[in-house]
Amino acid sequence: MRLISFGALRGWARGIKRDVHAVYLAARDPRTPWYAKALAFIVAAYAISPIDLIPDFIPVLGYLDDVIIVPLGIMAVVRLVPPEIMAEHRCTAAEADQRPTSRGAAVAIIFLWLAIAGGIAWFLLPAL
């Protein structure tokens, strides 16, 4: 029995991330059939949403839905979207993935959300 390497899993996860972005782009493309758009929006929303069918804190089952449902949804959308459109959006998604990200901006946004939450708590706590 051959074990899957960590690098292979990381590559698979990056491919899923790219495909979720490509599916979202295909859903917004006017050349995509309406039924493919509908399924693409559902798959992209489920993949991006913090709300899962089975919550992630449930051991094994919590992540199992992400490992099964999202790839199956992507496969269904890929079959419904014309191949040339899907290839175009996969290239666009891969290019977007190569762009640099700003960890400083992410930290600033997190601090902004924490400040807003703290302000709301400070305002509401005396009322309770």
Q: Where are the domains of the chain?
A: 6-102
More confident residue, 14 or 41: 41
Query: Comparing C-alpha atoms, which of 91, 86, 89, 84 is closest to residue 76?
Result: 86
Proportion of the chain above pLDDT 70, given as a percent = 95
**Whether this model's pTM surpasses 0.85:** no
Terminal CA-CA length for the chain: 60
Location of structure tokens 């459109």: 85
Q: What is the pLDDT of residue 1?
A: 53
Question: pLDDT per residue over 35-84, tens digit each?
Answer: 999 999 999 888 887 777 777 677 777 777 778 888 899 999 999 999 99
Q: How far apart are CA 16 and CA 22, in angstroms?
A: 10
Q: How far apart are CA 36 and CA 40, in angstroms?
A: 6
Q: What is the pLDDT of residue 12?
A: 77
Question: pLDDT per residue over 19-29, tens digit each?
Answer: 999 999 999 99
Q: How far is CA 86 from CA 45, 59, 83, 89, 95, in A?
A: 18, 34, 5, 5, 14
Cβ neighbors of 35 (< 8 A, separation 6 or more) are: 80
Q: What is the mean pLDDT of residues 2-16?
A: 76
Interior angle at CA 67, CA 62 and CA 68, nearest 5:
100
Quick check: 16 pLDDT over 70?
yes
Question: pLDDT per residue over 108-117, tens digit each?
Answer: 889 999 999 9
Q: What is the pLDDT of residue 64?
A: 76
Q: What is the pLDDT of residue 28?
A: 94
